[in-house]
Chain A
Amino acid sequence: MEILVCVKRVPDTAENEIVVNSKGTDIERGDLVYSVNEWDNYAVEEAIQIRDKVGGSVTVVTVGDSDSEEILRREMAMGADKGILLSDNAFNGSDGKGIATILKAEIEKGKYDLILTGAQADDGAAQVGGMLAALLDIPYASLVNKIDILNDKTLKIGREIEGGNQEISEIDLPCVLSIQTGINEPRYVGIRGIRKVASVEIPVHGTKDIGIAAESVGSAGAKVKRVDYFVPPAGKGAELLEGSSDEIAEKLIELLKSKGGIK
């Protein structure tokens, strides 16, 4: 099975406190630690496991600048066979549809049976996978937390729905699936693994290589524009307990007692 996984380089929210810059034009990016989007990492692991079971190859692709190459290498160190970097100044400022349009153009240059994305990334929009499938006119399922290969034309998949229930469906190939965290346990990537793929060539494709008009993507093509970042005026918020940890513990115990929190 030929599998393509779409990944994104994002600020690692487990490692960073996200702060809006003084002008509200962006978040403070100076000291941010970046990594591969957590959901995408599960998608790559799933792709590798499927390939190891039924054969084929795994390609990882991203839309980004030259810094994004490091996450492609990381995912190749996990076991992906190939990486493709889609990079062009014309891609800057793309909205969800713009990213999906760029990915579609690259996908149509190859032949893929299965396309995976993470269920969502740093902006929480959870949109590119569904848009991509609609552009390619192939079926889509979001929030997938189980994939069984029935045959070379059909998958049996589980979607995570409300209440922790799982919705089981059959879906025809080719298709796009967005992967929910917890579907597997992504393997650890050591520094040695990354060294092994350090010199593998990663092709860089721009508008001309994939045959799309610059004005159809990027900020020129975007109908949805983020105009600023801000921190909403704080609500009532929590009453913060302060003092020595001894004092805080005593205050908290009193509060818990009064609210029925200690039996």
Chain B
Amino acid sequence: METSTQDPWQPTAAPEVAALAERPLPIRFTGSGSEYFRIWIVNLLLSIVTLSLYRPWAKVRRLRYFYANTLVDGHAFDFHGNPWKMLRGYVLVGLMLIAYSAAGRFSATAALVAVAILAVLWPALLRASMQFRLGNTSWRGLRFRFTGSLAGAYACMLPMFIPAFAMAMLRFEIVDPQHPTMTYIKHIYLVMFASALVAPLMWWLFKRYQHDHYSLGQWQTRLTIGAGRMYGLSLRVFGVFLLSLIVVLIVVAIVAGAAGALAAVNGHAPSLAANKPLWMVLIVVGVLAMYFLMLIVPVPYAMSRSQNLIWSSTRCDELRFDSKLPFGALLGLTLKNWLLMIVTLGLYWPFAAVAFYRLRIEALTPQLSGDLDRLQAQAAARVTDASGDAAGDLFGIDIGL
């Protein structure tokens, strides 16, 4: 960051440049980890003391800090959400989530009903979440909008539930749960294989729904790639995952071999079975470690490549995006964050969050070919229900940045 001679406060070029010549609108993040730590720790304390009812205020403070420090062409974002309204939505969605997770404890039928209800509500909730977040975000005094329709949300998301539905239907094939028939097993594999085959298509449908409907003033984005590019990306991600898996399996084989040799030398008899919870804990820790090793490389890879592919293919008539998020830097940062998170028992999180956000957001450069001063609000921004925001929060939905 020190090598950059660019002053983040100043716009880069004079506005008199011919309308069609592109000029970059560089993004700078000016926040600091230590300041976010101070905000985070106080937010956390208040959230615990109030049994999490403070969360909406904490979220507004966090977003306003990140937004006020995200400068696009020298101008910051602002967040307009009202914490009181967000609290209402938060409580509502919280109750729904408790009911949902409780349902699974009591009976399989209740769980199935809960999944069905969620499937029906999910697309509407997701759309509400996008509308809320964008409708309450502004740049240069103009509010963003999410213009996707409700029908569009259902059209792109309901197909995602087909595999789960097919699996549920297949259960009726089983007569004796102890001895599932070969046809049943074949059908399960068939459904799984088919789901994997259409997953990139689903992903593309979803991303297209999002990136076709971001709007600011008269600008309206669209996603310019077809599903084929998503298949290419998915294949590469899958390849990286397979490589990691092979490496992990080799490591596991070596460790198991070494442990076996050690036990043989010491002549110990296996008594772990006698201490069943210890045995269970060992298994859980082992599985977590394997899971970690398996994902530590593919996740940053997928993140950098998909951000680059999707945002570089997002454009309006007068604006397009360049995303150059390097995989190596993201992997290095991920490893560093994990290490410091563990060493500091989680207190490093605000620093990790700031570093991560900075790397991802600064990798993005909007390229403007129109005139910013002609940008103006279209219709009066409709304020949307804040329960969408809480839903987005609880189910981990975001705009991918």
Q: Do A and B come from one complex?
A: no
Chain A interface residues (CB < 8 Å from chain B): none
Please list the residues of chain B having a beta carbon within 8 angstroms of any beta carbon in chain A.
none
